[in-house]
């Protein structure tokens, strides 16, 4: 079982939860979350994600990852405009953050 922030993933059962609520993910959505949460805190490149999640070394579409990421963020309750779970590191890739946002004030 992998747990980062309020997200838990069971790779063997291929199930995910946000807090106590199960989140229903498609196969590719689960694979994307698993690829990121298993390396939480590290930047995972888009090339690595295409290889590990889609099993290809060529780009089927530059939007493939972005579309799935949008679905995953919505399902996990991650704000797409100001994400705190999965962030985009411009020019590098994606990172599953190990800590939530720091309260301001």
pLDDT single digits (tens) 19-42: 999 999 999 999 999 999 999 999
pLDDT band at 57 (very low <50, low <70, confident <90, very high): confident
Q: Give me 17's structure tokens.
A: 């939860």
Residue 105 belongs to some domain of the structure = no
Domain range enclosing 6: 2-96
CA distance 48 to 21: 29
Kindly indicate the confidence band of residue 60, based on its pLDDT and cuts at 50, 70 and 90.
low
User: How many independent structural domains does the chain possess?
Assistant: 1
Tell me the whole-structure pTM to 2 decimals.
0.91
The predicted pLDDT at position 89 comes to 92
Q: Is 82 helix (H, G, I), strand (E, B) or coil?
A: coil
Q: What distance in Å separates the CA atoms of residue 80 and residue 72, rounded to the nearest whole number?
A: 10
Other Cβ atoms within 10 Å of 86 Cβ, number: 22
Whichever domain contains 83, its CATH number is 1.10.10.10
Is 102 within the bounds of a domain? Answer: no
Within a domain: 32: yes
């Amino acid at each position: 079982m992998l747990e980062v922030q309020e997200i838990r993933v069971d790779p063997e059962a291929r199930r995910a939860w946000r807090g106590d609520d199960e989140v229903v993910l498609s196969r590719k959505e689960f694979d994307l979350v698993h690829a990121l949460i298993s390396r939480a805190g590290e930047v995972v490149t888009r090339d690595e994600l295409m290889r590990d999640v889609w099993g290809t070394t060529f780009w089927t579409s530059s939007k493939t990852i972005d579309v799935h990421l949008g679905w995953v963020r919505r399902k996990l309750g991650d704000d797409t405009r100001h994400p705190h779970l999965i962030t985009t590191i411009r020019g590098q890739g994606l990172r599953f953050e190990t800590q939530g946002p720091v309260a301001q004030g």
